[in-house]
Amino acid sequence: MDEEYDVVVLGTGLKECILSGLLSVNGLKVLHMDRNEYYGGESTSLNLNQLWKRFRDGDKPPERLGSSKEYNVDMIPKFMMANGALVRVLIHTDVTKYLNFKAVDGSFVYNKGKIHKVPANDVEALKSPLMGLFEKRRARKFFIYVQDYEDNDPKSHEGLDLNKVTARDLISRYGLDDNTVEFIGHALALYRNDAYLDEPALDFVKRVKLYAESLARFQGGSPYIYPLYGLGELPQGFARLSAVYGGTYMLGKPECKVEFDENGKAFGVTSEGETAKCKKVVCDPSYLPNKVKKVGKVARAICFMSHPIPNTNDSHSAQVILPQKQLGRRSDMYLFCCSYSHNIAPKGKYIAFVLTEAETDDPRVELKPGIDLLGPVDEIFFDTYDRFEPTNQHDVDNCFISTSYDATTHFETTVQDVIAMYSKITGKDLDLSVDLSAASAAADSEE
């Protein structure tokens, strides 16, 4: 370990592992350490014994839940957009070959006390009970505009400059009512509040397009895919990529203290009395607590069930979005469900998560509207945790700190953070224009 490295990476969360992989591929000499004995940091997937150790002070999990080993419960549950940025990174790096994906069965939205399938294109709009007859026709026209919109084809813009026109104005052109705007904004464009309405419409249109194109990708009922054995496989896959390109891995390293010189520049990392010298340090917020600030708090419940979420067409995997206004909140709430069909639980078992940005200190009360939709649960954990953002300047201290995993139900922001960090670390841009069809083979073979 007493060697000199270009970069020492601390923590094996998804962001750190993607970076470690990209940096090693780029020819840098990387040492990657974690204080834990396992891969994944905050974004790991835990088995039953690990879960009970963490949330139940070491009690033994009940026998009726089955074998501990068969569980892979995500700590940061998210789904992957089939055409999204993470899929591009996976194809770009060829990490797809270490993983198997399967489509997520369903995507739903909560409206007036009921769960509805999310309509995502002109055809589905015509069938959806979420809208009345005339509204359906208006929505259909809007979807056709979005589907046809191409950045580099001015004809498809219909005379609108989406860098100037706001989302609100675009919507009013089609005369959509508030109900429709809500599910399009929150369940398709995946905004967590309504601030987007007064922003230029381009981002809005692109998000709806991403949703629709991802949905069209596989013949599933949702635009999402998810890895077999849980999200914890992702950091492991990228760690392997890093190792394949010469990255050195050390887990279970206590302390991992970043060393600074008299000018406040990081020059190495010490663990167990040995210092690894390096030019740069990359880490998650927990390794440099003095260089981050708290920016939010998450409330979540992890629920063990023996049935799918009711009213989701028996989906073995599903997402349900509960828009803020439906619950009288300032931010949306989400339900995720996964099961043995993605090898994250034994046969017949389902894991559901209820998640939201915490607005109070009482997750039990706050999450109740979501939990009420689940039906009977076999076991439930409540948890809140803080979210951090870096406050340092990397040109001053040579430290590159990731932002805590955010509220989004998917990985678009995760990858944006990684790409920005990569450019800061290397001074290079990452070109992610890849052939997306390369991934369909991997996913199809699972069908």
Partner 1 sequence: MARTGGNKNLQAKLVLLGDMGTGKTSLVLRFVKGQFQDYQESTIGAAFFTQVLSLNEATIKFDIWDTAGQERYHSLAPMYYRGAAAAVVIYDITSMDSFMRAKKWVQELQAQGNPNVVMFLAANKADLEEKRKVGVEEGEQYAKENGMFFVETSAKTAQNVNELFYEIELSFESMSDANKLEAI
Ligand X SMILES: Cc1cc2nc3c(=O)[nH]c(=O)nc-3n(C[C@H](O)[C@H](O)[C@H](O)COP(=O)(O)OP(=O)(O)OC[C@H]3O[C@@H](n4cnc5c(N)ncnc54)[C@H](O)[C@@H]3O)c2cc1C
Least Cβ distance, residue 264 to partner 1 (angstroms): 30
Our CB check for partner 1 shows the closer of 361 and 444 to be: 444
Residue 229 binding partner per list ligand X, partner 1, none, with a CB distance cut-off of 5 to 8 Å that depends on partner kind: partner 1
Our CB check for ligand X shows the closer of 238 and 334 to be: 334
Least Cβ distance, residue 260 to ligand X (angstroms): 27
**Strand ranges (DSSP E) for 215-291?**
224-227, 248-250, 257-260, 266-271, 274-283
For residue 54, count other CB atoms closer than 10 A to its CB: 13
The torsion angles phi and psi of 423, rounded to 5 degrees, stand at -65, -40
Our CB check for ligand X shows the closer of 1 and 215 to be: 215
Our CB check for partner 1 shows the closer of 238 and 287 to be: 238
Q: Which tokens sit at 78?
A: 């998210």
Residue 332 binding partner per list ligand X, partner 1, none, with a CB distance cut-off of 5 to 8 Å that depends on partner kind: ligand X
The torsion angles phi and psi of 153, rounded to 5 degrees, stand at -125, 90
Residue 55 binding partner per list partner 1, ligand X, none, with a CB distance cut-off of 5 to 8 Å that depends on partner kind: none
- Dist CA 23 CA 26 (whole Å): 5
User: Which of 337, 340, 356 shows the shortest CA–CA distance to 348?
Assistant: 340
- Dist CA 434 CA 91 (whole Å): 7
Residue 76 in the binding site for ligand X (CB under 6 A): yes
Least Cβ distance, residue 236 to partner 1 (angstroms): 4
Residue 312 binding partner per list partner 1, ligand X, none, with a CB distance cut-off of 5 to 8 Å that depends on partner kind: none
Map the footprint of ligand X across residues 229-258, applying CB under 6 A: none
Identity of the residue numbered 322: L
Residue 244 binding partner per list ligand X, partner 1, none, with a CB distance cut-off of 5 to 8 Å that depends on partner kind: partner 1
Least Cβ distance, residue 39 to partner 1 (angstroms): 5
Residue 406 in the binding site for ligand X (CB under 6 A): yes
Residue 246 binding partner per list partner 1, ligand X, none, with a CB distance cut-off of 5 to 8 Å that depends on partner kind: partner 1
Map the footprint of ligand X across residues 262-321, applying CB under 6 A: 296, 298
Is the separation of the CB atoms in 303 and 29 below 8 Å? Answer: no
Residue 322 in the binding site for ligand X (CB under 6 A): no
Residue 88 in the binding site for ligand X (CB under 6 A): no
Residue 39 binding partner per list partner 1, ligand X, none, with a CB distance cut-off of 5 to 8 Å that depends on partner kind: partner 1
User: Which of 80, 58, 62, 59 shows the shortest CA–CA distance to 71?
Assistant: 62
Identity of the residue numbered 338: C
Our CB check for partner 1 shows the closer of 229 and 267 to be: 229
For residue 44, count other CB atoms closer than 10 A to its CB: 24
Beta bridge partners of 131: none
Rounded to the nearest 5 percent, the helix, strand and coil shares of the chain are: 40, 25, 35
Sign of the alpha-carbon torsion through 108, 207, 179, 358: positive
Identity of the residue numbered 283: C
Least Cβ distance, residue 29 to partner 1 (angstroms): 11
Residue 404 binding partner per list partner 1, ligand X, none, with a CB distance cut-off of 5 to 8 Å that depends on partner kind: ligand X
Which residues contact partner 1 (rule: CB under 8 A)? 38-39, 97-98, 229, 233, 236-237, 239-240, 243-246, 248-251, 445
Identity of the residue numbered 46: L
User: Which span sits near ligand X by CB under 6 A: 3-11, 249-257, 341-349, 403-411?
Assistant: 403-411
**Residue 244: which H helix or E strand, with range?**
helix 233-244
- Dist CA 185 CA 26 (whole Å): 38
Residue 245 binding partner per list ligand X, partner 1, none, with a CB distance cut-off of 5 to 8 Å that depends on partner kind: partner 1
> Half-sphere exposure of residue 447, counting CA atoms within 13 Å on the CB side?
10
Interaction pattern, residues 182-221, with ligand X; x per rule: CB under 6 A: --------x-x--------------x--x-----------
User: Which span sits near ligand X by CB under 6 A: 5-13, 134-142, 350-358, 372-380?
Assistant: 350-358
User: Which of 412, 90, 133 shows the shortest CA–CA distance to 240?
Assistant: 90
Q: Which residue has the tokens 């339900």?
A: 335
Q: Which tokens sit at 312?
A: 């989701």
Residue 1 in the binding site for ligand X (CB under 6 A): no
Strand pairing category for 30-33 and 4-10: parallel
Least Cβ distance, residue 191 to ligand X (angstroms): 6
User: Which of 427, 426, 402, 401 shows the shortest CA–CA distance to 415?
Assistant: 402
Residue 98 binding partner per list ligand X, partner 1, none, with a CB distance cut-off of 5 to 8 Å that depends on partner kind: partner 1
Our CB check for ligand X shows the closer of 24 and 324 to be: 324
Residue 407 binding partner per list partner 1, ligand X, none, with a CB distance cut-off of 5 to 8 Å that depends on partner kind: ligand X
Beta bridge partners of 250: 33
Under the rule (CB under 6 A), what is the footprint of ligand X?
76, 190, 192, 207, 210, 296, 298, 331-334, 355-357, 387, 404-408, 412-413
